[in-house]
Chains A and B, each alone.
Chain A
Amino acid sequence: MRLSELLHSRVVDAAGNDVGRVHDVRLVQDGPLVGTFGAAFRVEGLIVGPAIAGARLGYRRSGMTGPFLLAAPLRRLHRRVKFVPWDRVAELGRDTISISGSADDLDEPEPLPTA
Chain B
Amino acid sequence: MKRFVAVTLGILTAIGGFVDIGDLVANAEVGARFGFDLAWVVGVGVIGICVFAEMAGRVAAVSTRPVFDLVRERLGARAALANLLASSFVNFLTLAAEVAGIALALELASSVSYLLWIPFTSLAVWLVIWRVRFETMERIFGLAGLSLVAFAVGFWRLGPDWGSVFHSVSHPVVPSGEGHATYLFYAVSLFGAAMTPYEVFFFSSGAVEERWTTDDLNVNRANVLIGFPLGGILSLSIMGTTALVLLPRGITVDNLAQVALPTVLALGKLGLAFLLIGFFAATFGAALETALSSGYIISQFFGWQWGKMVRPVDAPRFHAVVLVSLVLGAMLVLTSVDPIKVTEYSLVLSALALPLTYFPILVIANDPDYMHGRTNGRVANALGSIFLIIVLVASAAAIPLMIVTKAGQ
A residues with CB within 8 A of B? 56-58, 61, 63-71, 114-115
Contact = CB atoms under 8 A, between A and B. Distances in A.
A58 B367 contact: yes
B376 interface: yes
A87 B367 CA distance: 32
B169 to A, nearest CB: 30
A75 to B, nearest CB: 12
B366 interface: yes
Interface bracket on B:
10 to 19
B368 A67 contact: no
Contacts of A65: 366
Contacts, number: 42
Most A CB within 10 A of own CB, among B369, B372, B375:
B369
B76 A66 contact: no
A contact patch SS? loop
Nearest to B74: A57
29 contacts: A56-B74, A56-B75, A56-B76, A57-B74, A57-B363, A58-B74, A58-B363, A58-B369, A61-B369, A63-B369, A64-B366, A65-B366, A66-B366, A66-B375, A66-B376, A66-B381, A67-B362, A67-B376, A67-B381, A68-B385, A69-B385, A69-B388, A70-B362, A70-B363, A70-B385, A71-B366, A114-B367, A114-B368, A115-B368
Nearest to B388: A69
A69 B366 CA distance: 12
Interface of B: 74-76, 362-363, 366-369, 372, 375-376, 381-382, 384-385, 388
Nearest to B371: A115
User: Can you list the 10 inter-chain pairs with the closest CB atoms, starting with the nearest?
Assistant: A67-B381, A114-B368, A69-B385, A66-B366, A63-B368, A67-B385, A115-B369, A66-B381, A114-B369, A57-B363
Contacts of A70: 362-363, 385
A32 B75 CA distance: 32
